[in-house]
């Protein structure tokens, strides 16, 4: 959720989101893999990830989740409901953190070890020249 919020917000002094001009496939390539419980993300997007208010972005409330369940006739387990709520809370918090900031991406598919190794290799290569 943090990575998605980072992609959907604009960096400091920018007017467009970081994902502007990216295809759906490019955006999906930036997101972590979700195994086993991806359907909960689908539920979250169906309910609505956040609420936009006059004071900014807020996470969805319990009444929103209950109304979705009642109106669709889809009973949600307590685990599904609480997970949807936590995901919304995380996304809303991340939007407030990353919007108009220079904070780097929270997730990269490249491991820290790979980044360190690439940095060392680059530095050693520069020394040889």
pLDDT in tens, 42-71: 999 999 999 999 989 999 999 999 999 999
Q: Are strands 50-53 and 56-59 parallel, antiparallel or unpaired?
A: antiparallel
Percent above pLDDT 90 for the chain: 70
Contact 6, 52 (CB under 8 A): no
Residues near 13 by Cβ (< 8 Å), separated by ≥ 6?
Answer: 100
**Count H helices, E strands: the chain?**
6, 2
Instruction: Please report, rounded to a whole number, the percentage of residues in the chain having pLDDT higher than 70.
Output: 95
Residues in CB range of 72: below 8 A, 6 or more apart: 46
Range of the domain at 119: 2-128
Number of independent structural domains in the chain: 1
Residue 126 has a CB neighbour count (10 Å cut-off) of 8
């Amino acid at each position: 959720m943090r990575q998605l919020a980072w992609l959907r917000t604009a960096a400091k002094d920018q007017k467009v989101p970081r994902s502007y001009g990216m295809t759906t496939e490019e955006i999906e390539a930036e997101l972590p893999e979700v195994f086993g419980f991806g359907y909960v993300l689908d539920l979250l997007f169906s309910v609505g990830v956040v609420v936009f208010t006059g004071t900014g972005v807020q996470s969805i409330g319990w009444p929103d989740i209950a109304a979705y369940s009642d109106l669709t006739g889809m009973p949600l387990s307590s685990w599904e409901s609480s997970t949807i709520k936590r995901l919304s809370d995380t996304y809303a918090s991340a939007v407030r953190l990353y919007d108009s900031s220079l904070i780097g991406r929270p997730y990269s598919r490249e491991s820290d070890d790979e980044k360190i190794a690439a940095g060392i290799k680059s530095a050693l290569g520069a020394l040889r020249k």
